[in-house]
Amino acid sequence: MNHDKELDASGLACPLPIVKTKKALGAMTPGQVLRVVATDPGSVADMAAFAEQTGNPLLAQSTQDKKFVFFLKKA
């Protein structure tokens, strides 16, 4: 999936992936897509809740080589 910005949160434990994602989205313009890579298993539930709660749609998510990849669209 095409994206405008990438955030590597590999190896970071909660709450850092969400904190970094929030900050990264804050610097983007509406409609842009952020790709986030994380390894914390808790990030799967966290990112879904973050997308729902903040209104930034979670376009897709997948698991690649024990890494969780998320695509979030800036609302």
Partner 1 sequence: MNESTDPTSLVLWGGFALAFVFGAVAHKANYCTMGAISDVVNMGHWGRMRMWLLTLAVAIIGTQLLHAGGQIDLARTIYQRPTLPWLSLLLGGTLFGIGMTLAGGCVNKNLIRLGGGSVRSLVVLAFMAIAAYMTLKGLFGQWRAAWLDPVSIDLAGLGMSDQSLASLLVRAGAVPAGPAVLGTALALGGALLVFVLADRRFRGNTVQVLAALVLGLLVVSAWYLSGHLGHGENPETLETVFFATNSRTLESMSFVAPTAYSLELLMLWTDKSLRVTFGIATVLGVIAGSLAYALASRRFAWDGFASFADLRNQLAGAVLMGFGGVTAMGCTVGQGMSGLSTLSIGSLIAVAGIVAGAAATMKCMLWREG
Catalytic site positions: 14
36-66 burial code (b ≥16 CB/10 A, e <16): bbbbbeebeebbeebbeeeebebeebeeeee
Question: By CB under 8 A, what part of segment 37-56 binds partner 1?
Answer: 39-42, 45-46, 49-50, 52-54
Residue 62 in contact with partner 1, rule: CB under 8 A: no
The nearer residue to partner 1, 22 or 60, going by C-beta atoms, is: 22
Interacting residue with partner 1 among 12, 28, 58, 59 (CB under 8 A): 12
Residue 14 in contact with partner 1, rule: CB under 8 A: yes
Instruction: Please state whether beta strands 33-38 and 5-9 pair in parallel, antiparallel, or not at all (unpaired).
Output: parallel
